[in-house]
Amino acid sequence: MSILECTFDGLTLPNPFVIGSGPPGTNAKVIGKAFEEGWGAVIAKTISLDSSKVINVAPRYARMRAAGSKEVIGWENIELISDRPFATWIDEFKQLKDKYPDGVLIASVMEECNKDAWVEIIERTQEAGVDAFELNFSCPHGLPERKMGAAMGQDPEIITEVCSWVNGAAKIPVWAKMTPNITHIVDPARAALEAGCEGIAAINTILSVMGIDLETLRPEPSVEGYSVPGGYSCKAVRPIALRMVMELGTMMYGGTSGKAITESGEPAVPGEFVDRSLSAIGGVETGEDAAQFILLGAHTVQVCTGVMVHGYKLAGELCRGLEAFMAKHGFNSLEEFRGHSLRYFTTHAELVRRQHEVKARDKAERAGMVTKDAAWEGDSFVEQSDRLVSND
């Protein structure tokens, strides 16, 4: 068994690397390619019942490169969900499960706030044989105009309602994908988990304006001279994704959550959903990036833009990078370090208190005071005792 194998929500993945919903999972051809290149699971491009309402524009991407280099650090898209008919997707899900029975295939779904539509899409898609669902409560552009995607994900009450419809119909695990375009990501996540979802995925893209062309004075990406704010992804968003995953990990699995760290290093605040899963997304391109998300509690790590920049073979490099990190620390399974770093977050007041403690100790040592038992010496024992007396 590979040390990267992971089991949660009744699913077993050969490794934690999952294709995130988007162009890398947009039809059966590319999903097949992902399974053949060894990805642990694939989340298909988001589908809805009526694709005729989905009309994309071109160009629909804009990239930011590092100064003086070809390296892509930021990526904005104004792409909508899949424009392919629901019936086509159902056929392709069946074909994929026939051809890759062991491949973990996850359908991403989005619908209007209508119970019948959600129940229909869940029932018909699970009959096609997919292994799990991801609910797209997070697409930041285009469909919020129809109260879909992020417009739902920003409202915990709507999440509660939609997740209870979905969980009433779903017989397979359900993850709710969260939008980062919100102040407190834990509120909608808690609503989804309380409504019975098996897991949380975060983050989707961050609402952004990539830039203004200083020749034409028009925003990018430019479609006939006009634009709309889009979703920002790629390595530039990773620190924001890490922060949000840290907040979710703390809420779900416990942590310090602003309270003092216990002497034993145990979480001072117990987790509210320790039996649920967390799928981290945002700017992952290396095994080391993934290790950081796992240290914050993630079971899986999704990659979308990284595949658009580096191709499907990235799976092999991600696995090798994560295995090298584990070998360096002597970890034999992902569970051995999942969530380990959550305990090192605390309040600023606690940082100040700890720093004072260290400074006070240094001062005491400089004054020749014994601060550790190993420092006691037989020849200067009396002098050492004298120096420790505070009231002479």
Residues found near ligand FMN in the complex (CB under 6 A): 20-23, 45-46, 75, 77, 79, 81, 108, 136, 139, 177, 204-205, 233-234, 237, 281-284, 303-306
The least distance separating ligand FMN from the CB of residue 306, rounded to whole angstroms, comes to 5
What angle is formed at CA 131 by the lines to CA 180 and CA 287, rounded to 5 degrees?
A: 55
Q: How far apart are CA 323 and CA 332, in angstroms?
A: 9
The least distance separating ligand FMN from the CB of residue 282, rounded to whole angstroms, comes to 5
Q: In which residue are the tokens 């309402």 written?
A: 53
273 close to 251: Cβ distance less than 8 angstroms: yes
Q: Which residues partner with 42 through β-bridges? A: 19, 105
**Closer residue to ligand FMN in complex, CB, 241/343:** 241
Q: Which two tokens stand for residue 206?
A: 């961050």
Specify whether the backbone of 52 is left (phi greater than 0), alpha (psi in -120 to 50) or beta.
alpha
Q: How far apart are CA 197 and CA 191, in angstroms?
A: 9
**Closer residue to ligand FMN in complex, CB, 126/305:** 305
Q: How far apart are CA 177 and CA 374, in angstroms?
A: 53
Q: Which residues contact 294 (CB under 8 A, 6 or more apart)?
A: 16, 280, 301, 334, 337, 338
249 close to 278: Cβ distance less than 8 angstroms: yes
**Closer residue to ligand FMN in complex, CB, 21/250:** 21
* Residue 113 known to be catalytic: no
The least distance separating ligand FMN from the CB of residue 369, rounded to whole angstroms, comes to 52
**Closer residue to ligand FMN in complex, CB, 190/238:** 238
Q: What is the DSSP string of 296-349?
A: TT-SEEEESHHHHHH-TTHHHHHHHHHHHHHHHHT--SGGGTTTGGGGG---HH
The least distance separating ligand FMN from the CB of residue 25, rounded to whole angstroms, comes to 9
Q: How far apart are CA 147 and CA 188, in angstroms?
A: 16
The least distance separating ligand FMN from the CB of residue 175, rounded to whole angstroms, comes to 10
**Closer residue to ligand FMN in complex, CB, 6/107:** 107
**Closer residue to ligand FMN in complex, CB, 135/271:** 135
The least distance separating ligand FMN from the CB of residue 125, rounded to whole angstroms, comes to 15
Q: Which of 6, 139, 234, 304 is catalytic?
A: 139
Q: Give the residue numbers annotated as catalytic, written as ranges.
A: 139
